[in-house]
Structure 1
Amino acid sequence: MPKNLMRALKIVVSAGLIAYLIYAVDWSSAVDKLRDANLSLVIVAAVIFMVNTVATSAWKWRISLRIHGFFNWRLLELGKILLIGGFMSSFLPTAIGGDIYRVYRTLPYDGQKSRAVSAVLLDRVTGLLSMFFVGALGALALYLQNQDPEIGFLALALAAPPLLAVAFPYLVGLKLFKPLLEKLAGIRKLEPLMTNARLVFMNRKGLARLSVVSVLFHILAVIAIAFLFAAVHTPGALAESAVADTMYSAAALIPVSINGLGIQEGSFAFTAQQLGISFSHAVIVALMIRIIAVLTSLCGGIVFFFDKGRTADLTMSPESIEQSD
């Protein structure tokens, strides 16, 4: 499918979904709730979201970079790159997405350049698995409250990806997979991939640290969402927020809309409704999450305007790789 046609289709899907959500909301009740909304809680949630998007994300990324032998990156610099990447993904008419920009800014001038790609990929995969883990905890908490078999099944489904990820190194170590691994190791084009994979699995402490910070990232996001629900007078929705946030984030992986616009809000509102939360309240909270994300991206635009380009040469050396914990 031509790129222009695909982009037009995504715009139509996003616009249609947003229009439906707006139409489905009971605005007579929603407007009253918005008037009575606790602005202090909204501000607290926005601050948590913004700090999480920049600081915690930079922390995760730096751990991933260190696993791959990049030791000289500062949190402030990585936070700046994340802001600019978010702005590029959201506003600029370019094929350069946020992750591509992250790779570009951390490419070494010598050494194996594939490690910059692998670092971003590891950050993303770990974040995705942590998202499912936190969602599974929320679903488990809801199941313990009401013993609903459907919620119990959801908890198991969400827990499956992180459990498989934990078991993966042990499964790969089985003799059954040894011939396949040897064959893959002999393919020259896959050599960087195999090298990076070994680097990651050898650094168990770094991988564990990255997993913990990734879980922290999603817990903070859930807390921020719970604050937004409390702001529109739906308190005590922490477990529901965990499940709804998982569906919201997972919906972004479906490439049928512009940056997940519409499909994320719809997934969030539908999930929250199934868990007993007012559909109108859930749509309001989802839209507030989107507005906060847009404001954060706009901050990235300001940073981009004053950015002076790539930082100084941050190369890898065999000695620095050996220092990896």
Structure 2
Amino acid sequence: MRASYDDAPAPATPAGRRYLGLLVKLAFMAGALWLVGRHLDLPALGRTLRQARPGWLALAAALFTLSKLISSVRLNTFFRAVDIQLTERYNLRLYWLGMFYNLFLPGGIGGDGYKVYLLGKEFPGRRGLIFRALLLDRLSGMVALLVLLLALLAVVPATELRPAGALALPEWWRAVPLALIPLGLALSYGLGRWGFGEFRSAFGRTSWEALGVQGAQVLCAWALLASLGAASGPVLPYLLVFLASSIAAVLPLTVGGLGARELTFLYGAQLFALSAPVAVSASVLFYVITALVSLVGALVRVERGQPD
């Protein structure tokens, strides 16, 4: 089977600009991977990867897939808030095809661009709303990432969080990330009502769905650490670095986040005296799982007209 659609979407930007952007991303990714390779014991990385336990890897893949299923439902919640009615089955197929485009076709037909194109034909005159729904979906995921990052900062033991040679943190410092959570949520809600008021009926439900997406991915990272035999030690700092790497991977700096995650894991491991081979191995395995799950999108058939 193959992914198909009726008409090829017109490029949103001149070809030269698209290819230049792709070259910049590839250069940044190559530089990041070079830095990782330069500062890492590559034979130790290879040994760590070879020791990964298949059962835990399968659980990690299942948790990542679950996060994408929840993410698909979240996006459809935004669509329905502005009366863009898609069946969950159709939306899931379109979402998975978008994952494939986003990861494997950078600089060409992006997954979000394809959704705007196809759904714009299905719902004439609503292309702007479709684009705003996709943008808000991304923003809600970023807010959930920051909330989990702050919550984890508040519970990580000071002895695990403190960089080597740094002074001990006072106990009251935990109040800072805890106080920032409601402040950040209130600010994001206010900005959402101001900039995306037409979606406000979906804010409550999608906030929980966004936390579910990121929570499932944190559990995926934990399963990867377990597969590498690192779950019996201090796990929370690894998960903290994982959340930071997820934020770095969202930035449009590399192809599919490759390089940005590994670089964040490398420097995070150095900062908190973690095992660099374990940290980078977890990052590599997460990318492999992402690629394999996204590759399923190549088998999805999406055509104009919603299926029954």
Q: Under a length normalisation based on structure 1, what TM-score does the superposition of the two structures give?
A: 0.75
Instruction: Name the CA distance, whole Å, in 2 between partners of 1:82 and 1:207.
Output: 20
1:84-108 per-residue CA deviation (whole Å, 9 max, x = no partner) reads 1121122236532122222233334
Q: Which residue of 2 aligns with 1:122?
A: 136
Shift of 1:38: 1.7
Q: Which residue of 1 aligns with 2:150?
A: 136
Q: Which residue of 2 aligns with 1:166?
A: 186
- Structure (1 or 2) with the larger CA radius of gyration: 1
Structure 2 residues not aligned, in runs of 5+: 1-15, 163-168
Q: Which residue of 2 aligns with 1:64?
A: 78
The yes-or-no answer on 1:51 pairing with 2:66 is yes
> After the TM superposition, which residues 1-325 of structure 1 pair with which residues of structure 2 at under 5 Å, given as runs?
2-53=17-68, 55-70=69-84, 72-92=85-105, 94-107=107-120, 108-110=122-124, 112-143=126-157, 148=162, 149=169, 156=176, 160=180, 163-167=183-187, 197-201=196-200, 203=201, 206-236=202-232, 238-303=235-300, 307-312=301-306
**How big is the alpha-carbon RMSD for the aligned residues of Structure 1 and Structure 2?**
3.3
Instruction: Name the CA distance, whole Å, in 1 between partners of 2:239 and 2:63.
Output: 15
The one-letter amino acid of 1:199's match is E
1:100-157 per-residue CA deviation (whole Å, 9 max, x = no partner) reads 2222333343454322122112211111100111111111111566685499879957
Aligned partners of 1:87 and 1:301 also within 8 Å: yes
Distance verdict in 2 for CA 1:232–1:140, change over 3 Å: same
Q: Under a length normalisation based on structure 2, what TM-score does the superposition of the two structures give?
A: 0.79
Aligned partners of 1:244 and 1:271 also within 8 Å: yes
Shift of 1:58: 0.9
1:40-78 per-residue CA deviation (whole Å, 9 max, x = no partner) reads 10111012112322x1111111111122222x3222222
Aligned partners of 1:137 and 1:155 also within 8 Å: no
Instruction: Name the CA distance, whole Å, in 1 between partners of 2:306 and 2:272.
Output: 50
Instruction: Name the CA distance, whole Å, in 2 between partners of 1:282 and 1:147.
Output: 15
- % of aligned pairs identical? 22
Structure 1 residues not aligned, in runs of 5+: 174-180, 182-193, 315-325
Question: Which gives a bigger RCO, structure 1 or 2 (Cα 8 Å, sep 6+)?
Answer: 2
- 3-state secondary structure, aligned to 2:146: helix
